[in-house]
Amino acid sequence: MSAAQRASRIRLPPLPSIKDVIRLYKLRALRELSQNFLMEPRLIDKIVRAAGNIQNNVVCEVGPGPGGITRSIIQQAPRKVILVEKDPRFLPTLELLADACKDKVDVDIITGDILRTDIAHFIPQDVKVGWNDPPPPVNLIGNLPFSVSTILIIRWLEAISRQEGPWTFGRVRMTLTFQKEVAERMSAPILDKQRCRLSVMCQNWCNVKYKFDIPGAAFLPKPEVDVGVVTLTPLKQPIIKLPFKLVEKVVRQIFSMRQKYSIRGAQTLFPEEIREEMALKMYNIADLDPVTRPFQITNYEFRRLCEAYKTIVTENPDLEKYDYRAPKKKLVTENIDDEIM
């Protein structure tokens, strides 16, 4: 931290420690909400530092809980802090923090589920920049509950692909905690044992960096797994420049049989009576060896596969509606059969 950054730090008035706050307000982590409180100040500060210089930035914290990370964020002198907390039990502790810095930092406390909250509504319009410009002075930070972390990141990736929500303001950066195994999957390169659908999706739309681990013992209650801290910065252009739902469908089905030849998963994109022929056509268009395993496929090769699938469903629109997981029903394929023959 530079001398200027140290000088700009906000000194909060004396406040009870997070441990004392939890005891004072009789707070306990709820298992049904996957709550775990991070108690170690040094690690809390390390998470916030991973976001970079947030001085004068707008910072949205997801799931602040008793406010441990919130304190560290406020001390870095942001312009505004937006807190989205689902559990109303934490409102008194967050209001205590908002009152402690009311003359220095603007704090909005939103009681709601992050999966149903439009963060963009609370971000000042004057921070907006162009998509190809450097990222705007806006950060998303959160110690995410395990139960929603994967669902949330997939939703946010789709919002990034459409430049919606917070990403109407530009390439907003994220610094988030995940179950360690999930964090490893997000950043896994080809050939890695953790390489999966999430790896391809995250790396297609973002620059993903696995920053560091946090031991489970640092949390209360102690989870059964360790935690990984990840930063994601949206790319100016995705590697696969196709609609999110199409990319997600192709990648998901190919990884549905991770240890088998990748064409086996690709076959499930098509109805049973034509799947072998159509999957082979897809791999021929993509110029990819059908016996390649899913975890051996680069994002650029996935781009070729997605483009090949798009070519096939453009020629045969009914195929785009096919869902391997849906109840089986006969699809009219006379025209497709004629084409194959």
Distance CA 228, CA 210 (A): 7
If one compares 311 and 40, the residue with the highest pLDDT of the two is 311
CATH of the domain at 174: 3.40.50.150
Mean pLDDT of 180-184: 96
Q: Does a structural domain hold residue 297?
A: yes
CA distance 141 to 133: 21
pLDDT band at 338 (very low <50, low <70, confident <90, very high): very low
Q: pLDDT (tens digit, 9 = 90+) per residue, 93-119?
A: 899 999 999 889 999 999 999 999 999
The single residue listed with the structure tokens 């390390």 is 46
Among residues 206, 287, 202, the alpha carbon closest in space to that of 251 is found at: 202
pLDDT number for residue 165? 97
Q: What is the DSSP letter of 162?
A: H
Q: What sign does the dihedral 31-119-178-241 (CA atoms) show?
A: positive
Same domain, 229 and 112: yes
DSSP string across 51-120: T---TT-EEEEE--TTSHHHHHHHHT--SEEEEEES-GGGHHHHHHHHHHTTTT-EEEEEES-GGG--GG
**CATH code of the domain covering residue 318:** 1.10.8.100
Give tens-digit pLDDT for 283-298.
Answer: 999 999 999 999 999 9
| Alpha helices, DSSP H, located in the chain | 3-8, 18-24, 41-50, 68-75, 91-100, 146-162, 180-187, 197-205, 244-255, 262-267, 275-286, 299-315, 334-340
185 residue type, one letter: R
| Domains identified in the chain, total number | 2
Residues 126 and 251 in one domain: no
Among residues 205, 234, 263, the one where a domain terminates is 234
Question: How does residue 35 score in pLDDT terms, banded at 50, 70 and 90?
Answer: low
Could you give the percent of the chain with pLDDT greater than 90? 72
Q: Is it the case that residue 323 has pLDDT exceeding 80?
A: yes
Residue 128 has pLDDT above 80, yes or no: yes
Q: What is the mean pLDDT of the chain?
A: 89
For residue 334, being part of any structural domain is answered with yes
Examine the pLDDT at 27 and tell me if it is beyond 70: no
Q: Please give the pLDDT value at position 31.
A: 53
Structural tokens at position 312: 């096939």
Across 269-273, average pLDDT: 96
Which is more confidently placed, 139 or 13?
Answer: 139
Mean pLDDT of 270-283: 97
Q: Choose one of 234, 268, 297: the last residue of a domain.
A: 234
Percent of the chain with pLDDT over 70: 87
Let me know whether 266 and 330 are in one domain: yes
Whether residue 239 is contained in a domain is answered as no
Q: Are residues 293 and 229 in the same domain?
A: no
The neighbour count for residue 67, using CB atoms within 10 Å, is 24
| Most confident of the following: 93-97, 138-142, 256-260 | 138-142
Q: Is residue 100 part of a domain?
A: yes
The DSSP bridge partners found for residue 95 are none
Q: In angstroms, what is the C-alpha Rg of the chain?
A: 23
Determine the average pLDDT of the residues in 252-273: 96
Q: Is pLDDT larger for residue 18 or for residue 46?
A: 46
Model pLDDT, residue 267:
97
Same domain, 210 and 310: no
Name the range with the highest mean pLDDT among 2-6, 173-177, 337-341: 173-177
The C-alpha atoms of residue 103 and residue 106 are separated, in whole angstroms, by 8
- Do 12 and 121 lie in one domain? The reply is yes
Q: How far apart are CA 111 and CA 85, in angstroms?
A: 5
Instruction: Please indicate, yes or no, if residue 272 is contained in any of the structural domains.
Output: yes
**Residue 94 counted as domain residue:** yes
Name the residue range of residue 263's domain: 244-340
User: Any idea which of 7-11, 194-198, 266-270 has the lowest mean pLDDT?
Assistant: 7-11
Looking at the fold, whether 206 and 161 belong to one and the same domain comes out as: yes
Domain assignment present for residue 162? The answer is yes
| Contact in structure between 94 and 109 (CB atoms under 8 Å) | yes
- pLDDT category at 11 given cuts 50, 70, 90 is confident
| Residue located via tokens 């089905």 | 253
The pairs formed by 277-282 with CB atoms below 8 angstroms and a separation of 24 or more are 277/340, 278/312, 278/319, 278/336, 278/340, 281/308, 281/312, 281/340, 282/308, 282/309, 282/312
